[in-house]
Amino acid sequence: MQPHEHIFLDISWVKSRWDLPLLHDIEQMTDEVRRFSAVGGGTLVDLTCMGIGRDPARLRAVSEAADVHIVMGTGWYRAPYYPPEIERSSTASLAALLVDDIAGGVDGVRPGIIGEIGMDKQWVQGIEERVMRAAARAQRATGLALTTHTPPSAALAMYEVFAEEGVDPARIVFGHLDNTLELDYLVAVAELGAYVQFDLIGIEDINSDARRADMIVQLIRRGHADRLLLSCDVGTRRRLATNGGHGYGHLTTGFLPMLRERGVAAEEIDRITQTNPQRMLAG
Does 176 count as an annotated binding residue?
A: yes
Does 6 count as an annotated binding residue?
A: yes
* Alpha-helical segments (H) within 54-200: 56-66, 91-104, 126-142, 155-164, 183-192
Cβ proximity of 33 and 7 under 8 Å: yes
Distance in angstroms (rounded) separating the CA atoms of residues 90 and 67 = 40
Does 24 count as an annotated binding residue?
A: no
All residues at 6 or more sequence positions from 258 whose CB lies less than 8 Å from its CB, including other chains: 209, 210, 213
Does 32 count as an annotated binding residue?
A: no
Does 149 count as an annotated binding residue?
A: yes
Distance in angstroms (rounded) separating the CA atoms of residues 114 and 142 = 10
Does 69 count as an annotated binding residue?
A: no
Helix axes 183-192, 155-164, angle to 10 degrees: 20
Q: Residue 41's CB: how many other CB atoms inside 10 A?
A: 22
Annotated binding site: 4, 6, 116, 149, 176, 233
Annotated binding site for a divalent metal cation: 4, 6, 116, 149, 176, 233
